[in-house]
Amino acid sequence: MKKRVIAVLLAATLAGTLTACGSGGAGASNDTGTTETTKTGGGSEDTMLGSESAAVHLKAGTTTAPDGHYVKGLQEMQKLLEEYSSGEMTIDIYPNSQLGNERDMMENVGMGVQEMCLISTGPIPNFVPDFAVLDLPYLFEDAQQAYKVLDGEVGTSLLRKLDGQGIKGVGFWENGFREVTNDKKEIVTPEDLKGMKIRTMENNVHMATYKELGATATPMAWSEIFTALQQGTVDGQENPIAIIESAKVYEVQKYVSMIDLFYSPCVLMIAQSTYDSFTDAQKEAFDKAAEEAKTYQREYSASYTDEAVRKMKDAGVTVTDVDKAQWKEAAAGVYDELDSLGLNKELVEKIQASK
């Protein structure tokens, strides 16, 4: 295990050191009054810069891998935005936490020092507490149910709450149903999880849920996971299959249990100041590209999962289907802690009613 973790860690470190210093931050405004980043954009070999001829370059950061489902959606948006703005606007994509962890990027977008980010809901409740309701276990039975709520009045009202952070919440894209991995043993029932140290996002609801299941929840930023696995700080982690596969977590975690504990959306954000600087035509192009890229990214995420599971099984990973009713019952106690977790009970009831 340790040799494999070191190999994957070295690969990840090498990618990190290739990150150019001083990636082009927000540059001088151009004649359309919008922010123009430096053409070079900076970044590592994983950076995906949009068309050099575009006048408006929007820096978009994500913690996920260059060939993962977040970046595929951003690449689609990059293509559509260039098309709908007649080449005037583009997105420069920075994967692999080049622009910081999810919390950093959300803060930077809020301050207007970074134009965009695509992040999970993990850190958001630290800024907008009402988002935490989306992190409850077994809140949605399937992705279609999640889309109905997230694209409806509940999701729209949550996105609007980001205004107070200087952020325009553009839309809910898909991270996916979160599965648990480890390298010690097959996890079939909640009993098997007892006493295991599981890395979670820095999210109180996820931490409370793993505690309810008998595990020790160890919160940390995604960029720290390989070091934590190598040092034995944690026994396992939890993420959607698309992350487990694209970040090559399966190379150091032999067991994956398909518990579907949480449905995890991700949120596309743009600095409000950046969006307000767009002309009406630029806003129209941006909104259209973002909406169509959201549909593409969700479809890609769904199709990717089946293929990724097959690929991991071929690589010798034990992928275990579990009795989800048993897991749902074991995690249900978290719904008795809504008050102590500071969750908006009315919003939870609204979600239950609108599914």
Q: Which CB, 177 or 327, lies closer to ligand EAX?
A: 177
Q: Which CB, 239 or 253, lies closer to ligand EAX?
A: 239
Instruction: Please give the Cα distance from 314 to 225 (Å, whole number).
Output: 24
* CA 185 centroid distance within chain: 27
Instruction: Please give the Cα distance from 69 to 263 (Å, whole number).
Output: 15
- 3-state SS, residue 61: strand
Q: Closest distance between ligand EAX and the C-beta of residue 266, in Å?
A: 6
Question: Can you tell me which of 138, 222, 255, 278 binds ligand EAX, judged by CB under 6 A?
Answer: 222
Q: Which CB, 80 or 119, lies closer to ligand EAX?
A: 119
Instruction: Please give the Cα distance from 67 to 115 (Å, whole number).
Output: 22
Q: Closest distance between ligand EAX and the C-beta of residue 132, in Å?
A: 15
- The residue written with tokens 């991270």 in the block is 175
Q: Which CB, 63 or 218, lies closer to ligand EAX?
A: 63
| 181 lies in the site for ligand EAX, by CB under 6 A | no
Q: Closest distance between ligand EAX and the C-beta of residue 153, in Å?
A: 25
| 175 lies in the site for ligand EAX, by CB under 6 A | yes
| 66 lies in the site for ligand EAX, by CB under 6 A | no
Question: Can you tell me which of 63, 90, 108, 182 binds ligand EAX, judged by CB under 6 A?
Answer: 63
Q: Closest distance between ligand EAX and the C-beta of residue 314, in Å?
A: 24
Return the range that interacts with ligand EAX (CB under 6 A); candidates 114-122, 124-132, 139-147, 162-170: 114-122
Positions in 245-274 near ligand EAX (CB under 6 A): 266
Tokens representing 12 are 């990840």
- The residue written with tokens 């941006």 in the block is 286
Return the range that interacts with ligand EAX (CB under 6 A); candidates 23-31, 36-44, 107-115, 117-125: 117-125
Instruction: Please give the Cα distance from 58 to 35 (Å, whole number).
Output: 8
- The residue written with tokens 């990724």 in the block is 308
* Backbone torsion region of residue 318, taken as left when φ is above 0, otherwise alpha when ψ lies between -120 and 50, otherwise beta: beta
Instruction: Please give the Cα distance from 239 to 179 (Å, whole number).
Output: 5
Question: Can you tell me which of 150, 180, 215, 243 binds ligand EAX, judged by CB under 6 A?
Answer: 243
Instruction: Please give the Cα distance from 344 to 348 (Å, whole number).
Output: 6
Q: Which CB, 90 or 181, lies closer to ligand EAX?
A: 181
Instruction: Please give the Cα distance from 261 to 138 (Å, whole number).
Output: 6
Q: Which CB, 85 or 264, lies closer to ligand EAX?
A: 264
Return the range that interacts with ligand EAX (CB under 6 A); candidates 20-28, 116-124, 179-187, 327-335: 116-124
Q: Which CB, 56 or 132, lies closer to ligand EAX?
A: 132
Task: Compute the half-sphere exposure of residue 30: CA atoms within 13 Å on the CB side of its CA.
Answer: 17
Burial of 333 (0-12, 13-18, 19+ CB in 10 A): middle
Instruction: Please give the Cα distance from 354 to 342 (Å, whole number).
Output: 21
| 120 lies in the site for ligand EAX, by CB under 6 A | yes
Instruction: Please give the Cα distance from 254 to 252 (Å, whole number).
Output: 6
| 125 lies in the site for ligand EAX, by CB under 6 A | no
The footprint of ligand EAX (CB under 6 A) covers 63-64, 102, 119-120, 122, 175, 201, 222, 239, 243, 266
